[in-house]
């Protein structure tokens, strides 16, 4: 395998099918499901409608066991009719909430379609509320509305809202951006240490009070591809991005670590030594799934913006053949390194779900990656599917997870082979 | 604004989806942003339907606002008509669509499609899912059903079954039972709606002699319209439980003018309840919460047919609050009319029931409180759409209810026996009852402040079944507090038991 980071060609203009029709994707509110697990003293208050509350419940159904750290302030008729002042109402709801949850250090007011359409200024509300609730609790605002954000873009909006609060830092450091499971964060931290990068911080942090510092000597390594706005905000504070493919699979992880090491002027051999063992483990784990996956045709419906790096991983490391790679939004700069490695295939951006379903049926792929609304209907038509949401909810990044990631794709095929009904 | 953690009902357009998804040949064009497409998964994942709901979402974005969202709607409606070729269409807006005021009804009319197009006004900021379902069904019936002015009496009596729809609690299996029951009585079924009905079927609802309203939350407004415009009376008895099923048979036979069948067919509940090993069920305290139909019915079944004591009764269906209040006062308690999850959790904790009958939300609450629980009402999770037939209506439904209501307590009893044989070599403190799998059950009851209890009393307390242990502990502690009897001895434990004994 090529041990050198690919040189992305900025002129690489792979043809992209752009579609504008019915989208079948979650809105950005859904990001709360994993963000609230990550930032353990944060609370997410959606200012929205019963639909927003219902979406959260349907997406996070299994978490109902606990009193969750998210809720919805449901806008009612009397608020819209002007019978109640919305800002007063919001103050009342926030007071009620913080009285119940004194442990909350950071409160996000999360905008929704209704709050955006009626132009409820949540940033202003957040500033006003912060004056009352600080120092105990800081109030911030971002929008996860379905008219502005698609699924994972909710995390982008949330992290971008954190950037102005990050303390200035003049020293050199590596900032890894994008929610990762704690266990992966720990693996990455120790690998960076072995490589020789000592100052490594992560955004988002596990606790609201542990925001990493930022400055002109901060170098950013994206762990997730859907963070365009966050990246822009970080760059505006002087940080620079390290170009790399995303750390999915053995090759992806290797190139990701190598890109970071190169940016910090670390010797190639030192990296080779540091990552040798995990790289070998990842290759071994992948080899177990290769036979089942190689030559199999895969079709991606747009969902998380992870589609392009995933297709790159599946085709290069497991021999799968991408038939169509759909992404809700294609950030060319962020995806450049992955695009350069991706074999020729149909890339589509946006969605017209009925047309895309027709293409999918015609292509008869061996495996279709799609959302929960489409999975069973496609299975009923005889197409094996993989729920894309699992790719966002499970730990898939890095060397140690490469095998698990491959297994997520192998399992539906193995099951289809096994069943005799 | 209302602070909400978990909701019992979705928005009203989800109710409309439950109607169209149940029907055939019908399509719904919904003016809504992309995130609202999450609702598809309720049907394809939770209910495991094998087809996508027949819903087209316009999925307008911020950049469309103020521009051409109306044009977007028209395109979506036209495309939906061409792609899906429905017999009829309903059009409307979700909460966000409502705010941008594009008037889907007028836009659809302007398209001049050659099929009936039924506009829906579902006020998202006032109403909820069940209301939306009922309103949608009513609008469909009102638009499509031919009124009947001179009703002829037919030779074979027939009826419509109204109410079964998508995402309903056991609707599929109830329908099977009710159809069998009608066959037994010699009453023909004209149309079942919305489940399985086409718009063409809806036009001939008026052919039946009367209507059966299985789920008033869904079908009451439509049945009232049919009564007025087609002269069809409708049933008011909900056949849940043996007594209600008997009353239901009497009611439909009277409406059909036929003689009721002589026996209870396959009703096993009465004998199971009378058999001696059910004695221990007597007076067990049960807390019931759900939609109005199921909460009301279960309160009667629990008291009259199982012998439980209803210590809490409530519903999130405000539309039927009056009926639930009346039933609660018949049990000597006050009804809980609320959809505030935290308030319901607090009420359950305060009532200290031995069994909770509720929705998936109460299942989680009960689990947290360590109380046995059974699910008897929507909203439910994927496991409450079982593969086997599992009705709650009719005599077989009553049999199922006997099992449903008794089984969790038997499991509790198993735990109790395990406790009694604690020192036996095969049983030990770490062994979990078999129904809880390999993991030991969490013990959510508050742990004692050890100084308050003597070791002997503490040991004695552990012999009390876990589902009443918390109550025994609290009662004993308050008894001891009033009298200053600390540390609590075995003697005090039994004095308290005698004091509070029912
Ligand atoms: S998606 Fe399925 S498993 Fe997950 S919470 Fe919903 S019903 Fe339960
Ligand atoms: S798409 Fe908009 S209205 Fe729908 S759930 Fe998301 S934020 Fe709420």
What integer is the mean pLDDT of A156-183? 96
| pLDDT in the model for residue B484 | 86
Does A374 contact B83 at a Cβ distance shorter than 8 Å? no
Residue B445's pLDDT band, with cuts at 50, 70 and 90, is very low
Chain A residues whose beta carbon lies within 8 Å of the beta carbon of residue B166: none
Does B4 contact A71 at a Cβ distance shorter than 8 Å? yes
Express each pLDDT in B237-282 by its tens digit.
999 999 999 999 999 999 999 999 887 778 999 999 999 888 888 9
Is a pLDDT exceeding 50 seen at residue A207?
A: yes
DSSP three-state, residue B493: helix
The answer to whether the CB of A259 is under 6 A from ligand 2 is: no
Residue A331's pLDDT band, with cuts at 50, 70 and 90, is very high
| pLDDT in the model for residue B462 | 81
| pLDDT in the model for residue B274 | 93
The answer to whether the CB of A61 is under 6 A from ligand 1 is: yes
Task: Using CA coordinates, name the residue in chain A closest to B369.
Answer: A65
Ligand 1 mutation target, pool A26, A57, A61, most atoms within 8 A of CB = A61
What integer is the mean pLDDT of A203-228? 96
Is a pLDDT exceeding 90 seen at residue A11?
A: no
What integer is the mean pLDDT of A196-212? 96
Q: Where are the domains of chain A?
A: 16-23+288-420, 28-149, 173-268
Do A217 and A144 contact (CB within 8 A), yes or no? Answer: no
Is a pLDDT exceeding 70 seen at residue B415?
A: no
Is a pLDDT exceeding 50 seen at residue A43?
A: yes
Is a pLDDT exceeding 50 seen at residue B427?
A: no
* B152-175 burial code (b ≥16 CB/10 A, e <16): eeeeebbbbbbbbbbbbbbbbbbb
Chain A residues whose beta carbon lies within 8 Å of the beta carbon of residue B54: none
| pLDDT in the model for residue A8 | 45
The answer to whether the CB of A327 is under 6 A from ligand 2 is: no
Is a pLDDT exceeding 60 seen at residue B426?
A: no
Give one DSSP letter per residue of B50-62, joined into a string: SS--SEEE----G
Give one DSSP letter per residue of A108-127, joined into a string: EEEE-HHHHHTT--HHHHHH
| pLDDT in the model for residue B20 | 98
A16-23+288-420 and A28-149: identical CATH topology:
yes
| pLDDT in the model for residue B264 | 75
Question: Which CATH superfamily includes the segment(s) A16-23+288-420?
Answer: Nitrogenase molybdenum iron protein domain (3.40.50.1980)
Distance A83 CA to ligand 1 centre (A): 38
- Pick the more confident residue, A11 or B235: B235
Ligand 1 mutation target, pool B40, B379, B381, B384, most atoms within 8 A of CB = B381
Residue bearing the CA closest to ligand 2, atom 8: A52
Express each pLDDT in B149-191 by its tens digit.
877 766 789 999 999 999 999 999 999 999 999 999 999 999 9
CA pseudo-torsion sign A205, A371, A352, B136 = negative
Give one DSSP letter per residue of B354-412, joined into a string: SEEEE-HHHHHHHHHHT--EEE-SSS--GGGS-SS---SBHHHHHHHHHHHHHHHHHHH
Lowest mean pLDDT among A66-70, A78-82, A133-137, B329-333: A66-70
Task: Find, among B130, B133, B35, the residue nearest to B92 by Cα.
Answer: B133
Is a pLDDT exceeding 80 seen at residue A6?
A: no
Chain A residues whose beta carbon lies within 8 Å of the beta carbon of residue B58: 22
- Pick the more confident residue, B87 or B462: B87
Residue A5's pLDDT band, with cuts at 50, 70 and 90, is very low
Distance B37 CA to ligand 1 centre (A): 16
Residue B338's pLDDT band, with cuts at 50, 70 and 90, is very high
What integer is the mean pLDDT of B442-463? 69
Lowest mean pLDDT among A358-362, B67-71, B145-149, B408-412: B408-412
Is a pLDDT exceeding 60 seen at residue B25?
A: yes
Residue B397's pLDDT band, with cuts at 50, 70 and 90, is very high
Mean pLDDT of chain B: 89
pTM score of the predicted model: 0.88
| pLDDT in the model for residue A160 | 98
| pLDDT in the model for residue A12 | 54
Distance A59 CA to ligand 1 centre (A): 8
Task: Using CA coordinates, name the residue in chain A closest to B64.
Answer: A147
Mean pLDDT of chain A: 92
> What distance in Å separates residue A63's CA from the closest CA in chain B?
10
Is B277 catalytic? The answer is: yes
Whole-angstrom distance, CA of residue B457 vs CA of residue B488: 7
CATH code for the domain defined by A28-149:
3.40.50.1980
Q: Which of B75, B277, B291, B452 is catalytic?
A: B277
Which residue do the tokens 């925001």 mark?
A211
What integer is the mean pLDDT of B79-107? 94
Does B96 contact A49 at a Cβ distance shorter than 8 Å? yes
The CATH topology of domain A173-268 is Rossmann fold (3.40.50)
* A341-374 burial code (b ≥16 CB/10 A, e <16): bbeebbbbbbbbbbbbbebbeeeebbbbbbbbbb
Residue B38's pLDDT band, with cuts at 50, 70 and 90, is very high
Q: Which atom of ligand 1 is nearest to the CA of B41?
A: 1
Whole-angstrom distance, CA of residue B162 vs CA of residue B169: 15
Q: Which atom of ligand 2 is nearest to the CA of A145?
A: 7
Strand-pair category, A321-327 with A297-300: parallel
> What distance in Å separates residue A208's CA from the closest CA in chain B?
22
Whole-angstrom distance, CA of residue B344 vs CA of residue B327: 18
Q: Which ligand has the shortest distance to the CA of B41?
A: 1
The answer to whether the CB of B381 is under 6 A from ligand 1 is: yes
- Pick the more confident residue, B364 or A260: A260
| pLDDT in the model for residue B466 | 65
| pLDDT in the model for residue B458 | 87
The pLDDT > 70 percentage for chain A reads 95
Task: Using CA coordinates, name the residue in chain B closest to A83.
Answer: B1
Chain A residues whose beta carbon lies within 8 Å of the beta carbon of residue B60: 147
| pLDDT in the model for residue B420 | 52
The answer to whether the CB of B417 is under 6 A from ligand 1 is: no
């Amino acid at each position: 395998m090529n041990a050198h980071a690919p040189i992305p060609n900025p002129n690489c203009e792979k043809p992209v099918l752009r579609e504008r029709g019915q989208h079948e994707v979650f809105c950005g509110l859904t990001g709360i499901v994993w963000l609230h697990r990550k930032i353990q003293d944060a609370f997410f208050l959606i200012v929205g409608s019963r639909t927003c509350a219902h979406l959260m419940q349907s997406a996070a159904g299994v978490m109902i066991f606990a009193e969750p750290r998210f809720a919805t302030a449901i806008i009612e008729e009397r608020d819209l009719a002007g019978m109640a002042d919305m800002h007063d109402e919001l103050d009342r709801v926030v007071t009620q909430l913080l009285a119940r949850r004194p442990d909350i250090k950071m409160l996000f007011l999360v905008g929704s379609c209704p709050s955006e359409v009626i132009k409820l200024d949540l940033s202003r509300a957040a500033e006003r509320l912060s004056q009352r609730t600080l120092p105990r609790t800081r109030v911030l605002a971002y929008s996860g509305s379905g008219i502005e954000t698609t699924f994972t873009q909710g995390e982008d909006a949330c992290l971008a809202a954190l950037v102005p609060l990050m303390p200035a830092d003049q020293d050199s450091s590596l900032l890894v951006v994008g929610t990762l499971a704690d266990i992966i964060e720990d693996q990455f931290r120790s690998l960076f240490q072995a490589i020789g990068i000592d100052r490594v911080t992560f955004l988002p942090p596990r606790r609201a009070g542990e925001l990493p510092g930022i400055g002109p000597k901060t170098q950013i390594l994206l762990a997730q591809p859907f963070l365009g706005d966050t990246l822009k905000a970080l760059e505006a504070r002087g940080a620079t991005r390290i170009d790399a493919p995303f750390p999915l699979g053995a090759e992806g992880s290797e190139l990701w670590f190598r890109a970071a090491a190169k940016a910090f002027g670390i010797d190639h051999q030192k990296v080779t030594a540091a990552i040798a063992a995990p790289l070998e483990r990842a290759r071994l784990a992948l080899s177990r799934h290769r036979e089942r996956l190689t030559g199999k045709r895969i079709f991606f419906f747009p969902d998380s913006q992870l589609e392009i790096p995933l297709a790159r991983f599946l085709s290069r490391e497991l021999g799968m053949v991408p038939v169509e790679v759909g992404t809700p939004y294609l950030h060319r700069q962020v995806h450049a390194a992955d695009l350069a490695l991706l074999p020729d295939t149909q890339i589509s951006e946006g969605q017209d779900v009925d047309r895309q379903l027709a293409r999918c049926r015609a292509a008869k792929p061996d495996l279709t990656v799609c959302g929960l609304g489409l999975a069973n209907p496609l299975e009923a038509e005889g197409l094996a599917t993989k729920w894309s949401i699992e790719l966002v909810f499970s730990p898939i990044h890095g060397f140690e997870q490469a095998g698990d990631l491959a297994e997520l794709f192998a399992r539906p095929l193995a099951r289809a082979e096994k069943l005799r009904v | 604004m209302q602070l909400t953690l978990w909701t019992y009902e979705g928005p009203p357009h989800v109710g409309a989806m439950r109607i169209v998804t149940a029907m055939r040949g019908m399509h719904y064009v919904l003016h809504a942003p992309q995130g609202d497409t999450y609702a598809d998964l309720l049907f394809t994942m939770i209910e495991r339907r094998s087809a996508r709901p027949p819903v087209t979402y316009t999925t307008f974005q911020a950049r469309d606002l103020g521009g051409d969202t109306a044009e977007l709607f028209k395109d979506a409606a036209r495309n939906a008509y061409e792609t899906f070729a429905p017999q009829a269409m309903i059009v409307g807006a979700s909460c966000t669509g409502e705010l941008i005021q594009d008037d889907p009804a007028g836009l659809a009319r302007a398209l001049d499609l050659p099929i009936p197009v039924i506009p829906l006004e579902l006020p998202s900021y006032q109403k909820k899912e069940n209301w939306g379902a009922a309103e949608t069904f009513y609008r469909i019936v009102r638009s499509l059903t031919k009124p009947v002015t001179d009703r002829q009496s037919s030779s074979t009596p027939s009826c419509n079954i109204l109410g079964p729809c998508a995402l309903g609690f056991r609707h599929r299996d109830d329908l099977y039972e009710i159809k069998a029951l009608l066959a037994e009585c010699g009453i023909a079924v004209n149309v079942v709606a919305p489940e399985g009905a086409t718009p063409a079927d809806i036009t001939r609802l008026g052919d039946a002699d009367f209507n059966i309203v299985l789920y008033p939350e869904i079908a009451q407004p439509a049945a009232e319209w049919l009564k007025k415009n087609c002269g069809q009376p409708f049933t008011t008895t909900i056949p849940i439980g043996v007594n209600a099923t008997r009353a239901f048979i009497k009611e439909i036979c009277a409406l059909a003018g036929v003689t009721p069948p002589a026996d209870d067919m396959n009703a096993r509940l009465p004998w199971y309840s009378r058999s001696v090993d059910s004695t221990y069920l007597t007076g067990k305290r049960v807390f019931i919460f759900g939609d109005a139909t199921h909460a009301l019915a279960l309160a009667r079944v629990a008291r009259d047919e199982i012998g439980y004591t209803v210590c809490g009764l409530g519903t999130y269906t405000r539309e039927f609050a009056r009926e639930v209040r009346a039933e609660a006062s018949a049990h000597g308690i006050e009804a809980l009319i609320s959809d505030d999850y935290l308030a319901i959790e607090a009420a359950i904790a305060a009532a200290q029931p031995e069994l909770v009958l509720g929705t998936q939300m109460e299942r989680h609450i009960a689990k947290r409180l360590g109380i046995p629980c059974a699910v008897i009402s929507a909203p439910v999770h994927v496991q409450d759409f079982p593969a086997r037939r599992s009705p709650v209506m009719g005599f077989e439904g009553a049999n199922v209810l006997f099992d449903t209501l008794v089984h969790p307590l038997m499991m509790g009893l198993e735990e109790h026996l395990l406790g009694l044989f604690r020192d036996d070599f095969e049983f030990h403190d770490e062994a979990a009852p078999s129904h809880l799998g390999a993991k030991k059950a969490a013990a959510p009851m508050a742990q004692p402040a050890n100084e308050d209890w003597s070791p002997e009393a503490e040991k004695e307390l552990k012999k009390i079944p876990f589902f009443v242990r918390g109550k025994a502990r609290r009662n004993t502690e308050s008894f001891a507090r009033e009298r200053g009897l600390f540390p609590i001895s075995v003697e005090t434990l039994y004095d308290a038991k005698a004091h509070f004994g029912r």
